[in-house]
Chain A
Amino acid sequence: MEKVLITGISGGQGRLLTRRLLESYEVCGVDRVAWEGAPPEVRVHQVDLRKKKFEDVVRTEAPTAVVHMGFIRHFRADQRTRHDVNVRGTKYLLDHCQSYGVQKLVILSSGYVYGAFPENPFSMDEDQPLSASRSYPEIRDLVEVDTVASAYIWKYPNIRTCVLRPVSVLGSFVHSMLAEYLRQKRVPTIMGFDPMMQFIHEEDLCEAIALALEQGLQGVFNVVGPGEVPLHVAIRECGGIPLPLPEILVRPLFARLFRYGLAPYPEGAIDYLKYPLTLSGKRFADAAGFRPLFGLEEIFQSVRRRE
C-alpha cells in the first residue's frame, strides 16, 4: 500500500484529509503542533520543516507520496518567520522528495496568489500571472512557494508534482482567515463594493487532493467550488450582518492596527473585499474529472452550524 506523508497534518484540513486517505493509503504526518487524538495507525512527528530532524523523518518514513499543506497562513507570527517557514520549508521539502524517492507530490497553494484587481477576468485560468504581491506584499511568500513548486514540475519531471490553487475553503473544521472573518456577527465590508466570491467545501478539497494523488496528476490546477455569490450574500448566509465602512477610514486604520499587532490581517487584504478573484476550474475538471459535491447552501450551513 502506498504511504502518504502530510505536512501540516494537525490542522483542520490535515485531519480531514487523513481520514479520507486512510481508506486507501498508509498515512503519517508532520506539523509544528501535536495532534491529540490522532488515529493510532497515524504517526505524527512534531518537527520544523527547516530543521534536519524533518529530513530524518522523510528518510525513515520513506513515503511514496507527499501532501504539502504545512504553511503558516495567518499573520500571528512575525513576517520574517512566516516567510522563512513557508518558503525555505517548501524548498527543503522539495529537496528531500528528490533525495528520498518520493514519486508523487501535491502542494496546496492558494487561489489568493492571483491577487484581487478591478480588471481581473471573470474566470481566471492557471496562466494568469500571480500578481498578489503587487498590492498585498505580505502574502508574497505564498506566491514564491507557488512559483518554486511550479518550477519543480519542470525541474524534476520524474516526480509527479501537482500544485493546487483552491478558492476560499469553508467548513466546520478548517480555520482560515476568511472563515474567521465570515463567522463574526457584524462583518465589516468596504462601502460601495460587493465582489463576486467563490467557495469550496473542506471535504470537496480533500476529494480534490485525493484525486490528484490517485491519478498522479502533474501540473498546476485551480480547484473551484460550486459557484459564485456576492460577498454580502455570503455574509448573510453565514448568519452575519454586513457592516459597510468607508475605505478612506478603514485603510489607514487597518494599516496602523496591523503594525501594532491589533488587526488579524494587513490592509492589502482589503482589496479582496473590493475586487473579484474568480477562477476557472475547467483544467482540473477535465484532467481529474473533479466535480464539487457540496453546493453553496451546504457550504454556508457548515459555517453557521459551527457556532
Chain B
Amino acid sequence: MLRTTRAGLASAFKDLTGAFVPVALRELDRELRERLAKVPTPLNEYGYDRFGFSPEAARKAFLPAALFYRHYFRVETYGIEKIPSGRALLVGNHAGQLPFDAVMLGTACLLGAEPPRVLRSVAEFWIPRIPWFGVLVSRGGGLVGTPENCAAMLEAGECVLMFPEGARGMNKPYSERYKLQRFGPGFMRLALATHTPVVPVALIGSEEQQPGFTNLHKLGKLFGFSSLPVTLGFPWLGPLGILPLPVKYRFYFGDPLQFEGDAHDEDAAIEARVDTVKAKIVELLEHGRRARRGVFF
C-alpha cells in the first residue's frame, strides 16, 4: 500500500511541477530526446552502450547545457557539416579555466550536426574518482583519455574530442589568449594508428570567458587541485565566480585532414604533422577573430 501511495504522490508531483515548467523547456527537452534518438551509437537492451553512455541519463544533463548553448553563450557554428561520419578526431584550442568549451562543443554536435553525434570528450584520469561527476561524464559519453580507450572509441566509429594543450591551454592567463600552447603529440600518434581523420576546430569566445591573471599552483596542491587560477570572478565572488562571462561562442570547423604513416615514428616526424594541424587552427582562429565585431555579441 505504501508503494502505491508513493507512486501516486510521485506522479502527482510530476503533474504539478509539469504545470509550472515553461513550455520552452519542455520543447527543448523534446528536441533533445529526438536528437538523441537519432545518434548512430548501438545501445544494448537496457539503453546503454558498452562504454557507459546512456541517452536517457545524458538528456537530463544536456538540458542545462542546451540552455547555456542557446541563451547564454549563444553558440554559432561554421562548417560543422565537415565532421565526417564514422570515426573522427576533433582537435581544438582549449581555454576558459573550466571545460565549458567541451560541453558546448558536445551540445553543438548533438543539436547542430546531421546526423546528431554524441561527442566523446576525453577527460583527465582522475575524473572517475569524483563521486557523481565521474558517472555523469561517463553517461554523457565521456571517457578517460588513455590511448587504449581513445582507440576503442575511434574503432567503434565515434567522434572523439581532444584538446592537445590540456590544462596548459585551459588555465593560461588572459595575456596568452588565442596563443596556442604546446600541443601534446599523442593525438597524432592515435590518428595514425587508427587511420582517423583529424578535424581542426577553432573555438572563439572561450578564451575570454574567464580572464585569468595568475595561477596559484602550490596553494592548489595543498588542497589537492592541480591548479588554482585567480580570475576576474574567482575567488572573490566565491562559487558565483565559477560562472564565466556571457561571451559569444563561435566554432569554426576546418576540413578533415587525413594523415598516413607510422604511429611509432620518431618525434620529429610526428611534430611536423602536429604543426600542420596547429597551423590550420591558427588560420581558423584568425579568420574567426577578424569576422567578429565583439566579444559578447
* B258 close to chain A: CB less than 8 A: no
| Contact partners of A233 in chain B: CB under 8 A | 46, 48
Of residues 136 to 163 in B, which have CB atoms within 8 Å of A's CB atoms?
Answer: 138, 143-144, 146, 148-149, 152
Q: Are B148 and A275 in contact, CB atoms less than 8 angstroms apart?
A: no
Q: Are A193 and B50 in contact, CB atoms less than 8 angstroms apart?
A: no
Q: Interface readout for B107-131 with A: 1 if CB under 8 Å, 0 if not?
A: 0000000000000000001111111
Q: Interface readout for A162-201 with B: 1 if CB under 8 Å, 0 if not?
A: 0000000000000000000000000000111110100000
Residue picked from A190, A228, A237, most chain B C-beta under 10 Å: A228
By beta carbon, the residue of chain A nearest B133 is A192
Which segment, of A11-19, A20-28, A114-122, A211-219, faces chain B?
A114-122
Q: Are B46 and A118 in contact, CB atoms less than 8 angstroms apart?
A: no
Q: Bound complex: CA of A261 vs CA of B233, how far in Å?
A: 53
Q: Are B146 and A119 in contact, CB atoms less than 8 angstroms apart?
A: yes
CB distance from A126 to the nearest CB of B (A): 13
* A209 close to chain B: CB less than 8 A: no
A118-B125 contact, Cβ under 8 Å, with A228-B48, A230-B48, A297-B45: yes
Q: Are A229 and B48 in contact, CB atoms less than 8 angstroms apart?
A: yes
Q: Are B46 and A121 in contact, CB atoms less than 8 angstroms apart?
A: no
Q: Are A275 and B146 in contact, CB atoms less than 8 angstroms apart?
A: no
Residue picked from A194, A247, A275, most chain B C-beta under 10 Å: A194
| Contact partners of B51 in chain A: CB under 8 A | 122, 196
CB distance from A211 to the nearest CB of B (A): 23
| Contact partners of A137 in chain B: CB under 8 A | none
Residue total for A at the interface (Cβ-Cβ under 8 A): 24
Residue total for B at the interface (Cβ-Cβ under 8 A): 25
Contact partner, A122, options B44, B128, B152, Cβ 8 Å: B152
* A296 close to chain B: CB less than 8 A: yes
* B132 close to chain A: CB less than 8 A: yes
Q: Bound complex: CA of A136 vs CA of B48, how far in Å?
A: 29
Q: Bound complex: CA of A276 vs CA of B125, how far in Å?
A: 13
Q: Are B135 and A193 in contact, CB atoms less than 8 angstroms apart?
A: yes
| Contact partners of A275 in chain B: CB under 8 A | 128
| Contact partners of B54 in chain A: CB under 8 A | 230
CB distance from B147 to the nearest CB of A (A): 9
By beta carbon, the residue of chain B nearest A117 is B128
Contact partner, B131, options A228, A229, A247, A296, Cβ 8 Å: A247
Of residues 53 to 106 in B, which have CB atoms within 8 Å of A's CB atoms?
Answer: 54
Q: Interface readout for A262-298 with B: 1 if CB under 8 Å, 0 if not?
A: 0000000000000110100000000000000001110
* B52 close to chain A: CB less than 8 A: yes
CB distance from B136 to the nearest CB of A (A): 10
* A227 close to chain B: CB less than 8 A: yes
Q: Bound complex: CA of A77 vs CA of B188, how far in Å?
A: 52
CB distance from B167 to the nearest CB of A (A): 17
* A99 close to chain B: CB less than 8 A: no
A-B contact pairs, 17 of them (CB 8 A): A118-B125, A119-B128, A119-B144, A121-B146, A122-B51, A122-B152, A123-B50, A123-B152, A192-B134, A193-B131, A193-B135, A228-B52, A233-B48, A247-B131, A276-B52, A295-B45, A296-B45
User: Given A119-B125, A119-B146, A193-B135, 6 other A-B contacts at CB below 8 A?
Assistant: A118-B129, A119-B128, A191-B131, A196-B50, A196-B51, A237-B46
Sorted from nearest, which 4 A-B pairs have the closest CB atoms? A192-B131, A118-B128, A121-B148, A192-B132
Interface set of B (CB-CB < 8 Å, partner A): 44-46, 48, 50-52, 54, 125-132, 134-135, 138, 143-144, 146, 148-149, 152
Interface set of A (CB-CB < 8 Å, partner B): 118-119, 121-123, 190-194, 196, 227-230, 233, 237, 247, 275-276, 278, 295-297
